[in-house]
Amino acid sequence: MLLLDVSKSSSHPSDDEQKIFQYIDHHQDTFVQSLSEWVAVESDSIQPHLRGNIIEIVKIAANSLRALGAAVELKNVSSQDEPYGQNLSLPPVILAELGNDTGKPTVCFYGHLDVMPAKKEDGWKTDPYTLTEVDGKLYGRGTNDNKGPVLAWLNAVGTFIALNMTLPVNVKFLLEGMEEAGSLGLEDLLKENEGFFSDVTYIVISDNTWLSNKKPALTYGTRGNAAFFVEVECCKKDLHSGSFGGIIHEAMFDLVALLDSLVDSSGRILIPGIYKDVAKVTDEEMKLYAPIDFNFHEHKANIGVKEFLYKTKEDILLNIWRNPSLSIHGIEGAFSESGIKTVIPSKVIGKFSIRQVPNMNLSTVESQVKEHLKSVFSKRNSPNTLTVSMQVGAKPWIANIKDLQYEAARRAIKTVFQQDPDMIRDGATIPVAKMFEDITKKSVMMFPIGAADDGEHSQNEKINRLNYINGTKVFASFLLEISKLHSASSSRTAS
């Protein structure tokens, strides 16, 4: 089954690309089998007792890279602290390189080998750790996030080698096993191994999805995240509501009022000054929104909601990509199981986060949140104890879409998918993008291959066979394109 009809391509593949694409088509079942073997490893980084599985998948990936001829190092990182226990070893991080031709650019790919927890009883239609193909969809935990894209990169590089074709660039890989748990130890590792990045020209991350189910995309920005705990304590132990209800200032009353003060029914954040530093929308930016493929009905169906807060494509995209948002995630300390427990909780902790965007300062956001909550609390004349703390602080990331690697990726997508990509942002936070940029000072690009309905982190996660195989092709085409563009740019600079 050929997944690309080159005779109809709007950007005709070169002779090398045609050979590469044919090889990939003819070996797609082998590539799917490799994905099946990787999915079978329950490399859940959230549950400590499964840590051995992460080490297993790291070894499997390392051996796959060695089979390509790459020089591979397994770098140890620091131990993990509480709450999981003292001195819990973290899995090693893979640093691999293939090629050291100083006349070529070097592309470094980042990916992760760990997954979020998954159980059949959570609502999966199939065993999450048994790759199952249904109607061209490959179901299994990690198929989209992130084992499928990682393997697509390995398959792309392996295709050049199998065809005895010279790699057009030097390639490096950094693969970790703790991304879903916050990339523990990664920042220190990057700082300690700056030499690994000294000759890197471009960094590519393939750890998100398209906006559409069918139209490819390139991502040039993500929001940051400031996550907060707001704690209210009214007494030293839980109390009987029949004996004490009505005569004390209950912590839950205060907390509900505090949470209610954060955002209105239209989604607008009510914290004074929060929008002051948000970067203004430019005319150039708005031009990127017009061609974007965004289907209201499809998007609602993907996530299962009745209506959005906004009625136009532009307003929706602006508010999930480049405007801040606030979400309330839960309350700790309150009874949440089935039935009813008639107690007054002594201490409750509300949990919420603000997705911040370029020009917003984390320290400023933290101060604004704390001042607002303290002001609301003081007006309640409550004798209870209020504590507000920021638990997570991740910065937003924005790339220059005029960088050569974005042009190379656009050309590769045009060749493989026969259409131009949507240029999108991601409303989520992907800290590694900003981390790599800040530490290495290199150009970073996010290059997804998964569809919007792939359901990463959710039940029935999948990647379409079409996306997996054509994703392998587009990565191979990208390596050819970035080599040509980089060479041409270097020639112009030299002259």
Residues recognised as catalytic:
114, 179
Cβ atoms within 10 Å, residue 267 = 14
Question: And the tokens for 155?
Answer: 């398959």
Contacts 24+ apart (CB under 8 A), 53-56: 54/91, 54/113, 54/114, 54/177, 54/178, 55/91, 55/92, 55/177
Q: Which amino acid is residue 84, in one-letter code?
A: Y
Length of the chain equals 495
Pair 294, 316: CB distance under 8 Å? yes
Structure-token pair, residue 389: 């703390």
Running DSSP on this structure, what letter comes out for residue 418?
A: S
Query: What would the two tokens of residue 182 be?
Result: 């916050």
Contacts of 161 (CB under 8 A, 6+ apart): 68, 69, 167
For the beta carbon of residue 134, count every other beta carbon within 10 angstroms.
11
Cα–Cα distance for residue pair 262/230, rounded to 1 Å: 12
CB contact at 8 A, 150 and 113 = yes
The rounded distance, in Å, linking the Cα atoms of 415 and 172 is 24
How many angstroms separate the CA atoms of 443 and 202, rounded? 5
Provide CB contacts within 8 A for 147, sequence distance 6+: 35, 38, 39, 113, 115
Task: Name every residue whose Cβ is closer than 8 Å to that of residue 17 and which is 6 or more positions away in sequence.
Answer: 415, 476, 477, 480
Helices (H), 418-464: 431-440
* Cα 99 to Cα 164, 172, 368, distances in angstroms: 14, 8, 50
**Which are the contacts of 89, defined by CB distance < 8 A and separation ≥ 6?**
51, 79, 80
